[in-house]
Structure 1
Amino acid sequence: MVREFLIRPDPADERLSTVVSGVDQTGRGIETRVVTEKPLTLYLNRQEIVTMMTIGDHPDLLALGYLLNQNMLSANDRVTAIDHDDDLDVVVVRTDSETDFETKMQKKVRTSGCAQGTVFGDIMDNLEHLSLDPDARLKTSWLYGLTQKINTVPSLYLEAGAIHGCVLCEEDRPLVYMEDVGRHNAVDKIAGWMYRNREDPASKIFYTTGRLTSEMVIKTAMMGIPILVSRSGFTAWGVELARKIGLTLVGRARGKRFIALSGHERIVFDLDPDSVPDEDRKHRRKGANAGAEVDA
Protein backbone atom coordinates (compact mmCIF):
# COMPACT_ATOMS: atom_id res chain seq x y z
CA MET A 1 0.00 0.00 0.00
CA VAL A 2 1.35 3.41 -1.00
CA ARG A 3 1.37 5.75 1.99
CA GLU A 4 0.81 9.44 1.33
CA PHE A 5 -0.62 12.24 3.47
CA LEU A 6 -1.62 9.98 6.36
CA ILE A 7 -2.12 13.24 8.27
CA ARG A 8 -2.58 16.53 6.47
CA PRO A 9 -3.71 20.04 7.44
CA ASP A 10 -7.41 20.81 7.61
CA PRO A 11 -7.82 24.54 6.97
CA ALA A 12 -11.61 24.12 7.31
CA ASP A 13 -11.26 23.04 10.98
CA GLU A 14 -12.92 25.91 12.86
CA ARG A 15 -10.85 25.20 15.98
CA LEU A 16 -7.62 26.15 14.22
CA SER A 17 -8.44 29.59 12.83
CA THR A 18 -11.00 32.35 13.06
CA VAL A 19 -12.23 35.20 10.86
CA VAL A 20 -11.33 38.72 12.03
CA SER A 21 -12.54 42.00 10.53
CA GLY A 22 -10.35 45.00 9.82
CA VAL A 23 -9.41 47.46 7.08
CA ASP A 24 -6.91 47.29 4.23
CA GLN A 25 -4.45 49.91 2.95
CA THR A 26 -7.31 51.86 1.32
CA GLY A 27 -9.43 51.94 4.46
CA ARG A 28 -11.91 49.48 3.00
CA GLY A 29 -13.42 46.98 5.41
CA ILE A 30 -12.13 43.43 5.01
CA GLU A 31 -12.34 40.06 6.73
CA THR A 32 -9.33 37.79 7.02
CA ARG A 33 -8.60 34.45 8.60
CA VAL A 34 -6.06 34.25 11.45
CA VAL A 35 -4.71 31.15 13.18
CA THR A 36 -5.61 30.15 16.72
CA GLU A 37 -3.05 30.39 19.52
CA LYS A 38 -3.76 28.84 22.91
CA PRO A 39 -1.70 27.62 25.89
CA LEU A 40 -1.08 23.97 26.59
CA THR A 41 0.58 22.96 29.85
CA LEU A 42 2.48 19.68 29.76
CA TYR A 43 3.00 17.38 32.73
CA LEU A 44 5.27 14.35 32.86
CA ASN A 45 3.55 12.19 35.51
CA ARG A 46 3.27 14.61 38.45
CA GLN A 47 5.89 17.13 37.28
CA GLU A 48 4.85 20.28 35.41
CA ILE A 49 7.31 20.67 32.53
CA VAL A 50 6.37 23.54 30.22
CA THR A 51 3.56 25.74 28.93
CA MET A 52 3.50 25.94 25.14
CA MET A 53 1.56 28.19 22.79
CA THR A 54 -0.02 26.05 20.07
CA ILE A 55 -2.92 25.92 17.60
CA GLY A 56 -4.32 23.09 19.70
CA ASP A 57 -4.47 20.08 17.39
CA HIS A 58 -2.80 16.72 18.16
CA PRO A 59 -1.93 17.58 21.81
CA ASP A 60 -0.99 13.97 22.51
CA LEU A 61 1.58 13.86 19.70
CA LEU A 62 2.92 17.30 20.62
CA ALA A 63 3.44 16.21 24.23
CA LEU A 64 5.15 12.96 23.26
CA GLY A 65 7.40 14.61 20.70
CA TYR A 66 8.38 17.44 23.01
CA LEU A 67 9.50 15.04 25.73
CA LEU A 68 11.40 12.89 23.24
CA ASN A 69 13.14 15.82 21.54
CA GLN A 70 14.09 17.31 24.90
CA ASN A 71 15.57 13.95 25.93
CA MET A 72 13.12 13.59 28.81
CA LEU A 73 11.80 10.36 27.33
CA SER A 74 13.74 7.75 25.44
CA ALA A 75 12.46 5.44 22.73
CA ASN A 76 12.60 2.62 25.28
CA ASP A 77 10.41 4.32 27.90
CA ARG A 78 6.92 2.86 28.24
CA VAL A 79 4.14 5.44 28.05
CA THR A 80 1.04 4.08 29.78
CA ALA A 81 -1.38 6.95 29.09
CA ILE A 82 -1.74 10.45 27.71
CA ASP A 83 -4.58 12.45 29.25
CA HIS A 84 -5.74 15.72 27.69
CA ASP A 85 -8.20 18.13 29.30
CA ASP A 86 -9.30 20.65 26.68
CA ASP A 87 -11.12 22.84 29.24
CA LEU A 88 -8.02 23.16 31.44
CA ASP A 89 -5.56 23.24 28.50
CA VAL A 90 -3.50 20.49 30.16
CA VAL A 91 -1.92 17.31 28.82
CA VAL A 92 -0.39 14.67 31.09
CA VAL A 93 2.00 12.00 29.83
CA ARG A 94 2.16 9.02 32.18
CA THR A 95 4.91 6.41 32.23
CA ASP A 96 5.17 3.13 34.10
CA SER A 97 7.91 4.61 36.30
CA GLU A 98 9.11 8.09 37.10
CA THR A 99 11.94 9.49 35.00
CA ASP A 100 15.09 11.23 36.19
CA PHE A 101 13.94 14.50 34.65
CA GLU A 102 10.96 14.90 36.94
CA THR A 103 13.19 15.74 39.90
CA LYS A 104 15.46 18.03 37.87
CA MET A 105 13.07 20.22 35.93
CA GLN A 106 11.80 23.64 36.82
CA LYS A 107 8.84 25.13 35.02
CA LYS A 108 9.74 26.64 31.66
CA VAL A 109 7.51 28.72 29.39
CA ARG A 110 7.90 28.63 25.65
CA THR A 111 6.07 31.15 23.42
CA SER A 112 5.33 31.02 19.72
CA GLY A 113 8.41 33.19 19.03
CA CYS A 114 10.86 31.00 17.17
CA ALA A 115 13.86 32.02 19.26
CA GLN A 116 12.19 30.81 22.46
CA GLY A 117 12.61 27.09 21.85
CA THR A 118 14.33 25.69 24.93
CA VAL A 119 17.01 23.01 24.89
CA PHE A 120 17.38 21.04 28.11
CA GLY A 121 20.00 18.83 29.71
CA ASP A 122 22.76 17.25 27.72
CA ILE A 123 21.24 17.34 24.24
CA MET A 124 24.29 19.04 22.74
CA ASP A 125 26.52 16.37 24.25
CA ASN A 126 24.28 13.67 22.82
CA LEU A 127 24.75 15.10 19.34
CA GLU A 128 28.40 14.11 19.54
CA HIS A 129 27.39 10.45 19.60
CA LEU A 130 24.65 10.56 16.96
CA SER A 131 25.10 8.49 13.84
CA LEU A 132 22.91 9.35 10.85
CA ASP A 133 22.60 6.77 8.08
CA PRO A 134 25.38 7.49 5.53
CA ASP A 135 23.61 5.34 2.92
CA ALA A 136 20.43 7.43 2.89
CA ARG A 137 19.73 9.05 -0.45
CA LEU A 138 17.79 12.05 -1.76
CA LYS A 139 16.95 11.82 -5.45
CA THR A 140 16.30 15.17 -7.09
CA SER A 141 13.21 13.65 -8.72
CA TRP A 142 11.87 12.95 -5.21
CA LEU A 143 12.67 16.48 -4.10
CA TYR A 144 10.86 18.09 -7.02
CA GLY A 145 7.88 15.80 -6.50
CA LEU A 146 7.73 16.57 -2.77
CA THR A 147 7.89 20.34 -3.13
CA GLN A 148 5.13 20.32 -5.73
CA LYS A 149 2.81 18.15 -3.60
CA ILE A 150 3.48 19.99 -0.34
CA ASN A 151 3.20 23.49 -1.80
CA THR A 152 -0.15 22.81 -3.45
CA VAL A 153 -2.01 20.81 -0.77
CA PRO A 154 -4.58 22.94 1.13
CA SER A 155 -3.10 24.21 4.41
CA LEU A 156 -3.31 26.95 7.00
CA TYR A 157 0.14 28.02 5.80
CA LEU A 158 -1.32 28.97 2.42
CA GLU A 159 -4.68 30.08 3.82
CA ALA A 160 -3.68 32.39 6.65
CA GLY A 161 0.12 32.54 7.00
CA ALA A 162 1.71 33.21 10.42
CA ILE A 163 2.28 29.48 10.85
CA HIS A 164 4.92 26.85 10.23
CA GLY A 165 4.49 23.61 8.34
CA CYS A 166 6.64 20.49 8.73
CA VAL A 167 6.31 17.31 6.72
CA LEU A 168 7.69 13.81 7.28
CA CYS A 169 8.44 12.27 3.89
CA GLU A 170 9.63 9.03 2.37
CA GLU A 171 11.08 9.17 -1.14
CA ASP A 172 8.63 11.39 -3.09
CA ARG A 173 5.71 10.81 -0.70
CA PRO A 174 4.61 13.23 2.04
CA LEU A 175 3.52 11.05 4.97
CA VAL A 176 2.60 13.39 7.83
CA TYR A 177 2.06 17.14 7.44
CA MET A 178 1.80 19.11 10.70
CA GLU A 179 1.37 22.83 11.28
CA ASP A 180 1.71 25.09 14.31
CA VAL A 181 2.52 28.64 15.37
CA GLY A 182 6.05 27.57 16.31
CA ARG A 183 8.20 25.35 14.10
CA HIS A 184 9.36 23.44 17.18
CA ASN A 185 5.74 22.41 17.87
CA ALA A 186 5.23 21.13 14.33
CA VAL A 187 8.45 19.13 14.59
CA ASP A 188 7.48 17.70 17.97
CA LYS A 189 4.10 16.51 16.67
CA ILE A 190 5.89 14.55 13.96
CA ALA A 191 8.35 13.13 16.50
CA GLY A 192 5.39 11.99 18.60
CA TRP A 193 3.76 10.35 15.58
CA MET A 194 6.99 8.54 14.70
CA TYR A 195 7.36 7.24 18.26
CA ARG A 196 3.76 6.04 18.42
CA ASN A 197 3.99 4.29 15.03
CA ARG A 198 7.56 2.99 15.50
CA GLU A 199 8.68 4.53 12.22
CA ASP A 200 12.24 3.94 10.99
CA PRO A 201 13.86 7.40 10.73
CA ALA A 202 16.75 6.32 8.47
CA SER A 203 14.52 6.17 5.38
CA LYS A 204 12.85 9.54 6.02
CA ILE A 205 13.21 13.08 4.70
CA PHE A 206 12.13 16.04 6.84
CA TYR A 207 10.64 19.10 5.10
CA THR A 208 9.93 22.47 6.71
CA THR A 209 8.57 25.78 5.50
CA GLY A 210 10.77 27.69 7.96
CA ARG A 211 14.42 28.61 8.27
CA LEU A 212 17.11 25.97 8.64
CA THR A 213 18.26 27.02 12.10
CA SER A 214 20.36 25.21 14.68
CA GLU A 215 17.13 24.20 16.45
CA MET A 216 15.75 22.57 13.31
CA VAL A 217 19.03 20.73 12.71
CA ILE A 218 19.17 19.50 16.32
CA LYS A 219 15.57 18.28 16.37
CA THR A 220 15.89 16.51 13.01
CA ALA A 221 19.10 14.81 14.12
CA MET A 222 17.59 13.84 17.49
CA MET A 223 14.83 12.05 15.56
CA GLY A 224 17.47 10.17 13.58
CA ILE A 225 16.39 11.63 10.22
CA PRO A 226 19.40 12.13 7.89
CA ILE A 227 17.94 14.68 5.41
CA LEU A 228 16.41 18.10 6.12
CA VAL A 229 14.83 20.26 3.39
CA SER A 230 13.29 23.74 3.45
CA ARG A 231 11.85 26.25 1.01
CA SER A 232 13.48 28.92 3.20
CA GLY A 233 17.13 29.80 3.93
CA PHE A 234 19.88 28.90 6.37
CA THR A 235 21.58 30.19 9.49
CA ALA A 236 25.34 29.86 9.87
CA TRP A 237 25.12 27.78 13.05
CA GLY A 238 22.54 25.53 11.45
CA VAL A 239 24.96 24.81 8.59
CA GLU A 240 27.88 24.32 10.97
CA LEU A 241 25.97 21.81 13.11
CA ALA A 242 24.65 19.94 10.07
CA ARG A 243 28.18 19.50 8.72
CA LYS A 244 29.45 18.42 12.12
CA ILE A 245 26.86 15.68 12.57
CA GLY A 246 26.60 14.58 8.95
CA LEU A 247 23.08 15.85 8.19
CA THR A 248 22.12 16.61 4.60
CA LEU A 249 20.84 20.20 4.54
CA VAL A 250 18.91 21.49 1.52
CA GLY A 251 17.39 24.98 1.46
CA ARG A 252 15.67 27.46 -0.85
CA ALA A 253 13.86 24.54 -2.49
CA ARG A 254 11.36 26.28 -4.75
CA GLY A 255 10.35 25.08 -8.19
CA LYS A 256 13.45 23.73 -9.94
CA ARG A 257 15.93 25.46 -7.63
CA PHE A 258 17.61 24.39 -4.39
CA ILE A 259 20.92 24.77 -2.56
CA ALA A 260 22.65 22.07 -0.49
CA LEU A 261 25.17 23.29 2.11
CA SER A 262 25.82 20.02 3.93
CA GLY A 263 25.78 16.31 3.09
CA HIS A 264 25.47 16.77 -0.67
CA GLU A 265 27.06 13.31 -1.16
CA ARG A 266 23.63 11.82 -0.39
CA ILE A 267 22.00 13.65 -3.32
CA VAL A 268 21.39 11.71 -6.52
CA PHE A 269 20.96 14.07 -9.49
CA ASP A 270 18.59 11.88 -11.52
CA LEU A 271 16.44 14.58 -13.14
CA ASP A 272 17.42 17.50 -15.38
CA PRO A 273 16.15 20.66 -13.62
CA ASP A 274 15.35 22.17 -17.04
CA SER A 275 12.59 19.56 -17.34
CA VAL A 276 10.96 20.79 -14.11
CA PRO A 277 8.39 23.61 -14.45
CA ASP A 278 8.80 26.77 -12.43
CA GLU A 279 6.72 27.04 -9.28
CA ASP A 280 3.18 28.21 -9.99
CA ARG A 281 3.00 31.95 -9.44
CA LYS A 282 0.02 31.83 -7.09
CA HIS A 283 1.72 29.27 -4.84
CA ARG A 284 5.01 31.16 -5.02
CA ARG A 285 3.27 34.37 -4.01
CA LYS A 286 1.28 32.76 -1.18
CA GLY A 287 4.23 30.77 0.02
CA ALA A 288 6.52 33.78 -0.08
CA ASN A 289 4.05 35.93 1.86
CA ALA A 290 3.42 33.24 4.46
CA GLY A 291 7.11 32.51 4.70
CA ALA A 292 7.84 36.17 5.35
CA GLU A 293 5.37 36.12 8.21
CA VAL A 294 6.58 32.94 9.84
CA ASP A 295 10.27 33.76 9.40
CA ALA A 296 9.92 37.11 11.12
Structure 2
Amino acid sequence: MKLQTECQEPVIRYRQGSITYEQDSIVTERPVTLVINGEEFVTLVCTPEYLEDLAVGFLASEGIIREAGDIRDLWIQEDEGYIHVSTDRWNDLQRSLYAKRYSTSCCGGGRLGYVYVNDARTAKIKDGIHVSLSFADIFRLMDKMQDGSELFHRTGGVHSAAVCDSRDIVLARCDIGRHNALDKIYGHCLRRQMVLSDKIIAFTGRISSEILLKAAKIGCEIILSKSAPTALALELARQLNMTTVGFIRQDSCNVYTGAERITDCEPAQVMTARLNNLLKE
Protein backbone atom coordinates (compact mmCIF):
# COMPACT_ATOMS: atom_id res chain seq x y z
CA MET A 1 0.00 0.00 0.00
CA LYS A 2 1.43 3.35 -1.04
CA LEU A 3 1.67 5.84 1.80
CA GLN A 4 -0.39 8.96 1.23
CA THR A 5 1.22 12.40 1.26
CA GLU A 6 -2.07 14.11 2.01
CA CYS A 7 -5.52 13.37 3.34
CA GLN A 8 -8.89 15.05 3.69
CA GLU A 9 -9.96 16.54 7.01
CA PRO A 10 -13.18 18.35 7.92
CA VAL A 11 -12.69 22.03 8.55
CA ILE A 12 -14.76 24.98 9.70
CA ARG A 13 -13.81 27.76 7.30
CA TYR A 14 -14.36 31.41 8.14
CA ARG A 15 -14.15 33.81 5.23
CA GLN A 16 -15.33 37.42 5.06
CA GLY A 17 -17.86 37.09 7.84
CA SER A 18 -19.37 33.70 6.91
CA ILE A 19 -18.76 30.16 8.22
CA THR A 20 -18.84 27.08 5.97
CA TYR A 21 -18.17 23.39 6.62
CA GLU A 22 -15.82 21.86 4.07
CA GLN A 23 -13.20 19.20 3.44
CA ASP A 24 -9.60 20.38 3.33
CA SER A 25 -6.43 18.70 2.04
CA ILE A 26 -3.92 18.14 4.87
CA VAL A 27 -0.29 17.12 4.37
CA THR A 28 0.64 13.91 6.17
CA GLU A 29 3.80 13.13 8.11
CA ARG A 30 5.05 9.74 9.17
CA PRO A 31 7.80 8.48 11.46
CA VAL A 32 10.09 6.23 9.40
CA THR A 33 12.94 4.33 11.04
CA LEU A 34 16.17 3.83 9.10
CA VAL A 35 17.72 0.43 9.84
CA ILE A 36 21.37 -0.19 8.93
CA ASN A 37 22.49 -3.81 8.70
CA GLY A 38 19.65 -4.85 10.99
CA GLU A 39 20.25 -2.12 13.62
CA GLU A 40 17.91 0.84 14.12
CA PHE A 41 19.85 4.02 13.42
CA VAL A 42 17.45 6.97 13.29
CA THR A 43 13.75 7.76 13.09
CA LEU A 44 12.87 10.49 10.62
CA VAL A 45 9.52 12.28 10.79
CA CYS A 46 8.88 13.11 7.17
CA THR A 47 6.48 13.38 4.28
CA PRO A 48 6.20 9.72 3.21
CA GLU A 49 7.39 9.91 -0.39
CA TYR A 50 10.75 9.45 -2.15
CA LEU A 51 11.89 7.42 0.85
CA GLU A 52 14.76 5.80 -1.06
CA ASP A 53 16.16 9.23 -1.91
CA LEU A 54 15.66 10.32 1.68
CA ALA A 55 17.62 7.34 3.01
CA VAL A 56 20.53 7.74 0.62
CA GLY A 57 20.77 11.49 1.06
CA PHE A 58 20.55 11.29 4.84
CA LEU A 59 23.24 8.61 5.09
CA ALA A 60 25.54 10.57 2.79
CA SER A 61 25.04 13.81 4.72
CA GLU A 62 25.80 11.95 7.96
CA GLY A 63 29.00 10.53 6.51
CA ILE A 64 27.87 6.91 6.76
CA ILE A 65 28.24 6.46 3.00
CA ARG A 66 30.14 8.45 0.38
CA GLU A 67 28.09 7.47 -2.66
CA ALA A 68 24.99 5.47 -3.53
CA GLY A 69 27.19 2.55 -4.60
CA ASP A 70 28.18 2.03 -0.96
CA ILE A 71 24.69 0.61 -0.37
CA ARG A 72 24.44 -3.10 -1.16
CA ASP A 73 20.68 -3.30 -0.75
CA LEU A 74 17.80 -1.02 0.18
CA TRP A 75 14.19 -2.04 0.80
CA ILE A 76 11.19 -0.44 2.45
CA GLN A 77 8.45 -1.74 4.72
CA GLU A 78 5.94 1.02 4.10
CA ASP A 79 3.15 -0.21 6.37
CA GLU A 80 5.55 -0.82 9.26
CA GLY A 81 7.52 2.38 8.67
CA TYR A 82 11.02 0.98 8.12
CA ILE A 83 13.74 1.66 5.56
CA HIS A 84 16.31 -1.16 5.54
CA VAL A 85 19.82 -0.52 4.24
CA SER A 86 22.71 -2.94 3.88
CA THR A 87 26.19 -1.46 3.58
CA ASP A 88 29.77 -2.55 4.19
CA ARG A 89 30.61 0.92 5.49
CA TRP A 90 28.70 0.48 8.76
CA ASN A 91 31.52 -0.60 11.05
CA ASP A 92 32.19 -0.87 14.78
CA LEU A 93 33.70 2.63 14.95
CA GLN A 94 30.64 4.23 13.40
CA ARG A 95 28.36 2.14 15.58
CA SER A 96 30.13 3.44 18.68
CA LEU A 97 29.87 7.08 17.54
CA TYR A 98 26.16 7.04 16.70
CA ALA A 99 23.27 6.35 19.04
CA LYS A 100 19.69 5.65 17.95
CA ARG A 101 18.00 9.03 17.74
CA TYR A 102 15.09 10.94 16.25
CA SER A 103 15.27 13.58 13.55
CA THR A 104 12.06 15.52 13.05
CA SER A 105 10.71 17.65 10.23
CA CYS A 106 11.94 20.81 11.93
CA CYS A 107 14.92 22.95 10.96
CA GLY A 108 17.84 21.02 12.40
CA GLY A 109 17.81 17.31 13.18
CA GLY A 110 18.06 15.35 16.37
CA ARG A 111 15.07 16.78 18.25
CA LEU A 112 12.95 14.23 20.07
CA GLY A 113 9.73 15.53 18.59
CA TYR A 114 7.58 12.53 17.85
CA VAL A 115 8.25 10.75 21.13
CA TYR A 116 7.00 13.67 23.22
CA VAL A 117 3.51 12.21 23.05
CA ASN A 118 4.69 9.43 25.37
CA ASP A 119 6.25 11.90 27.77
CA ALA A 120 4.39 12.27 31.06
CA ARG A 121 4.93 16.02 30.83
CA THR A 122 2.72 16.13 27.72
CA ALA A 123 -0.54 15.84 29.61
CA LYS A 124 -3.96 16.17 28.05
CA ILE A 125 -5.32 19.68 28.44
CA LYS A 126 -7.88 19.58 31.23
CA ASP A 127 -11.53 19.49 30.26
CA GLY A 128 -13.17 22.85 30.15
CA ILE A 129 -12.26 26.12 28.48
CA HIS A 130 -9.68 28.36 30.11
CA VAL A 131 -9.39 30.77 27.19
CA SER A 132 -11.54 31.58 24.17
CA LEU A 133 -11.26 33.81 21.11
CA SER A 134 -13.42 35.39 18.46
CA PHE A 135 -12.33 35.46 14.83
CA ALA A 136 -11.66 39.17 15.25
CA ASP A 137 -9.31 38.32 18.16
CA ILE A 138 -7.47 35.78 16.00
CA PHE A 139 -6.81 38.24 13.18
CA ARG A 140 -5.80 41.00 15.59
CA LEU A 141 -3.29 38.82 17.47
CA MET A 142 -1.66 37.48 14.31
CA ASP A 143 -1.38 40.99 12.88
CA LYS A 144 0.19 42.26 16.11
CA MET A 145 2.72 39.43 16.21
CA GLN A 146 3.80 39.92 12.61
CA ASP A 147 3.78 43.72 12.77
CA GLY A 148 5.94 43.60 15.90
CA SER A 149 8.66 41.38 14.41
CA GLU A 150 11.25 43.96 13.36
CA LEU A 151 13.81 41.30 12.43
CA PHE A 152 11.34 39.69 10.04
CA HIS A 153 10.56 43.01 8.41
CA ARG A 154 14.27 43.67 7.97
CA THR A 155 15.28 40.23 6.75
CA GLY A 156 12.22 38.18 5.82
CA GLY A 157 14.19 35.17 7.07
CA VAL A 158 12.83 34.29 10.50
CA HIS A 159 9.86 32.59 12.09
CA SER A 160 7.94 34.34 14.85
CA ALA A 161 6.24 32.88 17.91
CA ALA A 162 4.27 34.61 20.64
CA VAL A 163 2.41 33.91 23.85
CA CYS A 164 -0.83 35.87 23.93
CA ASP A 165 -3.95 36.37 25.94
CA SER A 166 -7.22 37.12 24.17
CA ARG A 167 -6.38 40.82 24.01
CA ASP A 168 -2.69 41.25 23.30
CA ILE A 169 0.80 39.80 22.84
CA VAL A 170 2.40 38.87 26.17
CA LEU A 171 5.79 37.69 24.86
CA ALA A 172 7.26 37.34 21.37
CA ARG A 173 10.45 35.82 19.99
CA CYS A 174 11.84 35.04 16.53
CA ASP A 175 14.47 32.73 15.08
CA ILE A 176 15.48 31.19 11.77
CA GLY A 177 14.17 27.84 13.10
CA ARG A 178 10.54 27.23 13.98
CA HIS A 179 11.50 25.14 16.98
CA ASN A 180 14.07 27.63 18.18
CA ALA A 181 11.47 30.41 18.28
CA LEU A 182 9.16 28.28 20.43
CA ASP A 183 12.05 27.13 22.63
CA LYS A 184 12.93 30.75 23.37
CA ILE A 185 9.33 31.34 24.40
CA TYR A 186 9.25 28.21 26.54
CA GLY A 187 12.57 28.93 28.27
CA HIS A 188 11.51 32.47 29.17
CA CYS A 189 8.23 31.23 30.65
CA LEU A 190 9.91 28.44 32.62
CA ARG A 191 12.54 30.75 34.07
CA ARG A 192 9.84 33.18 35.21
CA GLN A 193 7.33 30.51 36.27
CA MET A 194 4.61 32.04 34.12
CA VAL A 195 1.12 30.52 34.22
CA LEU A 196 0.19 29.58 30.66
CA SER A 197 -3.01 27.54 30.92
CA ASP A 198 -5.05 30.59 29.88
CA LYS A 199 -2.67 31.68 27.13
CA ILE A 200 -2.45 31.19 23.36
CA ILE A 201 0.46 30.37 21.05
CA ALA A 202 0.61 32.41 17.84
CA PHE A 203 3.06 31.11 15.28
CA THR A 204 4.19 31.71 11.69
CA GLY A 205 5.34 28.18 10.86
CA ARG A 206 3.64 24.95 9.88
CA ILE A 207 1.83 23.11 12.70
CA SER A 208 3.58 19.75 12.50
CA SER A 209 3.29 17.08 15.18
CA GLU A 210 6.39 18.19 17.06
CA ILE A 211 5.23 21.82 17.06
CA LEU A 212 1.81 20.78 18.36
CA LEU A 213 3.39 18.68 21.10
CA LYS A 214 5.76 21.46 22.06
CA ALA A 215 2.79 23.83 22.43
CA ALA A 216 1.09 21.19 24.58
CA LYS A 217 4.17 20.95 26.81
CA ILE A 218 4.22 24.71 27.14
CA GLY A 219 0.63 24.34 28.38
CA CYS A 220 -1.37 26.48 25.93
CA GLU A 221 -4.80 25.31 24.79
CA ILE A 222 -4.84 27.16 21.46
CA ILE A 223 -2.26 27.39 18.68
CA LEU A 224 -2.72 29.88 15.84
CA SER A 225 -0.68 29.79 12.64
CA LYS A 226 -0.54 31.50 9.28
CA SER A 227 0.46 28.14 7.80
CA ALA A 228 -0.95 24.61 7.48
CA PRO A 229 -1.22 21.76 9.98
CA THR A 230 -0.32 18.15 9.28
CA ALA A 231 -2.72 15.24 9.73
CA LEU A 232 -0.69 13.79 12.60
CA ALA A 233 -0.72 17.16 14.38
CA LEU A 234 -4.51 17.25 14.15
CA GLU A 235 -4.78 13.70 15.46
CA LEU A 236 -2.64 14.66 18.45
CA ALA A 237 -4.58 17.91 18.96
CA ARG A 238 -7.79 15.91 19.29
CA GLN A 239 -6.15 13.52 21.75
CA LEU A 240 -4.78 16.42 23.80
CA ASN A 241 -7.97 18.53 23.62
CA MET A 242 -6.27 21.45 21.87
CA THR A 243 -7.59 24.07 19.46
CA THR A 244 -5.75 24.51 16.15
CA VAL A 245 -6.38 27.36 13.72
CA GLY A 246 -4.37 27.62 10.50
CA PHE A 247 -4.09 29.55 7.26
CA ILE A 248 -4.77 32.81 9.09
CA ARG A 249 -4.60 35.35 6.28
CA GLN A 250 -6.23 38.80 6.40
CA ASP A 251 -9.91 37.99 7.01
CA SER A 252 -9.89 34.19 6.57
CA CYS A 253 -8.76 31.17 8.58
CA ASN A 254 -9.47 27.45 9.12
CA VAL A 255 -10.49 25.98 12.48
CA TYR A 256 -9.36 22.34 12.53
CA THR A 257 -9.85 21.17 16.11
CA GLY A 258 -11.27 22.47 19.37
CA ALA A 259 -13.77 24.87 17.79
CA GLU A 260 -15.59 25.17 21.12
CA ARG A 261 -12.96 27.75 22.11
CA ILE A 262 -13.89 29.96 19.14
CA THR A 263 -16.80 32.08 20.32
CA ASP A 264 -18.22 32.71 16.82
CA CYS A 265 -18.70 29.00 16.12
CA GLU A 266 -21.85 27.02 16.78
CA PRO A 267 -22.31 24.87 19.92
CA ALA A 268 -19.96 21.88 20.07
CA GLN A 269 -22.67 19.26 19.49
CA VAL A 270 -23.89 21.06 16.34
CA MET A 271 -20.36 21.36 14.93
CA THR A 272 -19.62 17.72 15.71
CA ALA A 273 -22.71 16.59 13.83
CA ARG A 274 -21.85 18.74 10.81
CA LEU A 275 -18.23 17.56 10.70
CA ASN A 276 -19.25 13.90 11.10
CA ASN A 277 -21.58 14.31 8.14
CA LEU A 278 -18.66 15.65 6.11
CA LEU A 279 -16.58 12.59 6.94
CA LYS A 280 -19.37 10.28 5.72
CA GLU A 281 -19.54 11.95 2.30
The TM tier, using the shorter chain, reads 0.5 to 0.7
Q: Distance in 2 between matches of 1:259 and 1:111?
A: 25
SS of residue matched to 1:123: helix
Which residue in 2 is equivalent to 1:125?
118
| CA distance in structure 2 between the aligned counterparts of 1:179 and 1:196, rounded to whole angstroms | 18
TM-score w.r.t. the length of structure 2 is: 0.53
Aligned to 1:99: none
> In structure 2, which of residues 138, 143, 161 is the aligned counterpart of residue 166 of structure 1?
161
Query: After superposition, where does 1:1-296 map in structure 2 within 5 Å?
Result: 114=107, 116=109, 118-119=111-112, 123-126=116-119, 130-133=123-126, 134-136=128-130, 137-269=132-264
Tell me, yes or no, if the aligned pair for 2:199 and 2:222 is still in contact at 8 Å.
yes
Shift of 1:234: 1.4
Question: C-alpha deviations, 1:200-229, integer Å up to 9, x for none?
Answer: 111100011000110110100011111000
Q: Given that residues 128 and 245 in structure 1 are in contact (C-alpha distance below 8 angstroms), is that contact kept between their aligned partners in structure 2?
A: no
Question: How many residue pairs end up in the alignment?
Answer: 166
TM-score (norm 1): 0.50
* Partner AA of 1:124 in structure 2: V
Q: How far 1:126 sits from its partner (Å)?
A: 2.7
Q: AA paired with 1:135?
A: I
2:116–2:122 Cα contact (<8 Å) kept: no
Aligned equivalents of 2:253, 2:113: Cα separation in 1: 33
Q: Report which stretch shifted further, 111-120 or 137-146.
A: 111-120
> Partners in 2 of 1:140 and 1:235 — Cα distance?
22
Give 2:250's aligned amino acid. Answer: G
Conservation of the 8 A alpha-carbon contact between 1:143 and 1:172: no
Deviation string, structure 1 residues 87-118 (Cα, Å, up to 9, x no partner)? xxxxxxxxxxxxxxxxxxx7989899526251
- 8 Å CA contact 1:201, 1:224 repeated in 2: yes
The 3 A distance-change label for structure 1 pair 117 and 220 is: farther
SS at the partner of 1:268? coil
Q: Retained in 1: the 8 A contact 2:157–2:176?
A: yes
1:161 Cα deviation from its structure 2 partner: 2.0
Contact 2:102 2:113 in 1 (8 A): no
Q: Is the 8 A contact 1:249 1:261 kept in 2?
A: yes
> Unaligned regions of 5+ residues in structure 2, if any?
1-98, 266-281
Instruction: Give the drift of 1:239.
Output: 1.2
* 1:123–1:111 distance in 2 versus 1, CA, 3 Å: closer
SS of residue in 2 equivalent to 1:252: strand
Identify unmatched segments of 5+ residues in structure 1.
Answer: 1-105, 271-296
Greater radius of gyration (CA): 2
Distance 1:112 1:161 in 2: 21
Paired AA for residue 249 in structure 2: R
Partners of 2:114 and 2:141 lie apart in 1 by 35
Letter in 1 for 2:228: G
How far apart are the structure 2 equivalents of 1:240 and 1:122?
Answer: 15
Q: Percent identity?
A: 30
| Residue number in structure 1 paired with 2:26 | none
Q: Distance in 1 between matches of 2:101 and 2:246?
A: 31
